[in-house]
């Protein structure tokens, strides 16, 4: 199958691109599109045959449910039961935006594969002009996981989607770099005290200012308990070379690079801009603020695969604010491995 990548932005007349995308979706085909977090790989969420194609194209395990994207508030009650006050408050505060809420699903409306056998469904209204326009023109719910091959970092640019899925899907709507760069916060509002299943740009503090107490289990607590967001248990975000975490400390990083190179390793360093002068074999910037780091993280991880690096060193950040989302992704990409002095590959 040939994959078309169509640029959709204010400088080109995109009418035809949207109508082609809508036609493809209506015919049960897949279309990748930008959201404000990462690119999604969409199929009409009521079409079981179409939704199954998502799992096939991504190589995604069939027990990992998909997020349903909607273009208007009113649609929500077509798909879910029991919209609580807290959910309504969150919708008011954070939709459209980088927030997925888990609800009890209405039976027999969405394709069975969307929910992967659960009695709940994750729904989000994205805040990206291309995503919203596509959803509103289509007028149907769109199931869309991140548009990467399963296990790889999520795509934040149209070209990332092409790298992973060319030949497997008919169309990519390319709206440029996504902006936020980490996937939406997933919160389970079916519980008495809501639980953040996946941290994102809507932070614990932001929820608490709107609905009171919410729980955000640490990485370790999440690993120990039964995974409530099934996707969280799989290997994720990993470049080909192993990733090791290291403190954001110039001296430590500099010594680590030296030691690794003495051992014959080729090192890619992912770190703030001010670390560029260190002697790594490749350097990819995280930028300087946490916002930059979220936006650059997946690009930097993906860039490692275009080098001959056999070790990736990535500097960490604190877990305040969006740092929780960044560290959640970074720990997964590293399989929680830290660089230690007298390095031996794990």
Task: Determine, following the binding rule CB under 6 A, whether residue 122 of this chain makes contact with ligand TXA.
Answer: yes
CA distance 275 to 283: 8
- Per the CB < 8 A criterion, the answer to whether 166 and 26 are in contact is no
Partner touching 89 among ligand TXA, Mg ion, none, CB below 5 to 8 Å by kind: none
Task: Determine, following the binding rule CB under 5 A, whether residue 17 of this chain makes contact with Mg ion.
Answer: no
Closer of 17 and 150 to Mg ion (Cβ): 150
As given in the structure block, the two tokens for residue 330 are: 């970074």
CB of residue 218 to ligand TXA, shortest distance in Å: 17
Environment class of 137 (CB within 10 Å of its CB; exposed 0-12, middle 13-18, buried 19+):
middle
Task: Determine, following the binding rule CB under 6 A, whether residue 109 of this chain makes contact with ligand TXA.
Answer: no
Task: Determine, following the binding rule CB under 6 A, whether residue 4 of this chain makes contact with ligand TXA.
Answer: no
CB of residue 197 to ligand TXA, shortest distance in Å: 5
Q: How many other CB atoms are found less than 10 A from the CB of residue 213?
A: 9
Phi, psi of 272 (to 5 degrees): -60, 160
- Shortest-Cβ-distance residue relative to ligand TXA: 231
Partner touching 323 among Mg ion, ligand TXA, none, CB below 5 to 8 Å by kind: none
Closer of 108 and 262 to ligand TXA (Cβ): 108
Instruction: Spell out, one character per residue from 146 to 165, where the chain touches ligand TXA: x when CB under 6 A holds, - when not.
Output: x-------------------
Task: Determine, following the binding rule CB under 6 A, whether residue 129 of this chain makes contact with ligand TXA.
Answer: no
Site for ligand TXA in 230-259 (CB under 6 A): 230-232
Partner touching 228 among Mg ion, ligand TXA, none, CB below 5 to 8 Å by kind: ligand TXA
Task: Determine, following the binding rule CB under 6 A, whether residue 174 of this chain makes contact with ligand TXA.
Answer: no
Partner touching 133 among Mg ion, ligand TXA, none, CB below 5 to 8 Å by kind: none
Phi, psi of 135 (to 5 degrees): -65, -40
Task: Determine, following the binding rule CB under 6 A, whether residue 142 of this chain makes contact with ligand TXA.
Answer: no
Q: What is the DSSP string of 159-200?
A: HHHHHHHTTT-SEEEE-S--SS-SPPEEEE-SSSS-EEEE--
CA distance 206 to 89: 12
Residues 6 or more apart whose Cβ sits within 8 Å of residue 96: 125, 126, 127, 132
CB of residue 252 to ligand TXA, shortest distance in Å: 32
Phi, psi of 172 (to 5 degrees): -120, 125
As given in the structure block, the two tokens for residue 129 are: 């002009």
Q: Name residue, tokens 């273009």.
A: 71
CB of residue 105 to ligand TXA, shortest distance in Å: 7
Task: Determine, following the binding rule CB under 6 A, whether residue 97 of this chain makes contact with ligand TXA.
Answer: no
Single residue of 14, 37, 280, 285 touching ligand TXA by CB under 6 A:
37
Task: Determine, following the binding rule CB under 5 A, whether residue 146 of this chain makes contact with Mg ion.
Answer: yes
Site for ligand TXA in 187-216 (CB under 6 A): 197-198
- Shortest-Cβ-distance residue relative to Mg ion: 146
Task: Determine, following the binding rule CB under 6 A, whether residue 51 of this chain makes contact with ligand TXA.
Answer: no
HSE of 84 in the Cβ direction (CA atoms, 13 Å)? Answer: 15
Determine which helix (DSSP H) or strand (DSSP E) holds 86, and give its type and residue range.
Answer: helix 85-94
- Per the CB < 8 A criterion, the answer to whether 163 and 303 are in contact is no
Stretch that binds ligand TXA, among 16-24, 86-94, 166-174, 181-189 (CB under 6 A): 181-189
CA distance 51 to 283: 38
Binding site for ligand TXA (CB under 6 A): 35, 37-38, 40, 64-67, 100, 102, 115, 118, 120-122, 124, 126, 144-146, 183-184, 186, 197-198, 228-232
């Amino acid at each position: 199958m040939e994959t078309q990548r169509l640029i959709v932005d204010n400088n080109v007349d995109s009418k035809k691109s949207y109508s082609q995308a809508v036609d493809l979706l209506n015919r049960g085909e897949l279309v990748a599109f930008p959201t404000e977090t990462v690119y999604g790989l969409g199929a009409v969420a009521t079409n079981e045959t179409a939704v199954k194609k998502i799992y096939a194209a991504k190589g995604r395990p069939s027990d990992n449910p998909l997020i349903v994207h909607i273009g208007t508030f009113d649609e929500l009650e077509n798909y879910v039961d029991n919209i609580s006050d807290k959910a309504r408050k969150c919708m008011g505060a954070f939709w459209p935006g980088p927030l997925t809420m888990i609800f009890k699903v209405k039976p027999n409306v969405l394709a069975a594969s969307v929910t992967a056998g659960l009695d709940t469904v994750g729904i989000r209204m994205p805040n990206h002009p291309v995503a919203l326009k596509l959803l509103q023109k289509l007028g149907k719910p769109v199931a869309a996981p991140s548009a990467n091959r399963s296990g790889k970092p999520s795509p934040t640019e149209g070209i990332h989607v092409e790298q992973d899925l060319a030949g497997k899907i008919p169309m990519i709507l390319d709206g440029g770099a996504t902006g936020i760069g980490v996937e939406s916060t997933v919160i389970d509002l079916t519980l008495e005290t809501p639980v953040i299943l996946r941290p994102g740009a809507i932070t614990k503090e932001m929820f608490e200012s709107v609905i009171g107490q919410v729980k955000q289990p640490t990485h370790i607590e999440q690993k120990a308990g039964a995974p409530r967001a099934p996707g969280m248990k799989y290997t994720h975000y990993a470049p080909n070379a192993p990733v090791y975490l290291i403190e954001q400390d110039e001296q430590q990083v500099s010594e680590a690079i030296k030691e690794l190179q003495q051992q014959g390793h080729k090192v890619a360093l992912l770190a703030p801009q001010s670390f560029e002068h260190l002697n790594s074999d490749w350097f990819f910037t995280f930028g300087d603020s946490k916002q930059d780091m979220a936006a650059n993280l997946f690009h930097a991880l993906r860039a490692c695969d275009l080098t001959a690096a056999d070790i990736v060193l990535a500097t960490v950040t604190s877990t305040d604010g969006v740092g929780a989302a960044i560290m959640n992704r970074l720990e997964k990409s590293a399989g929680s491995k830290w660089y230690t002095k007298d390095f031996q590959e794990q």
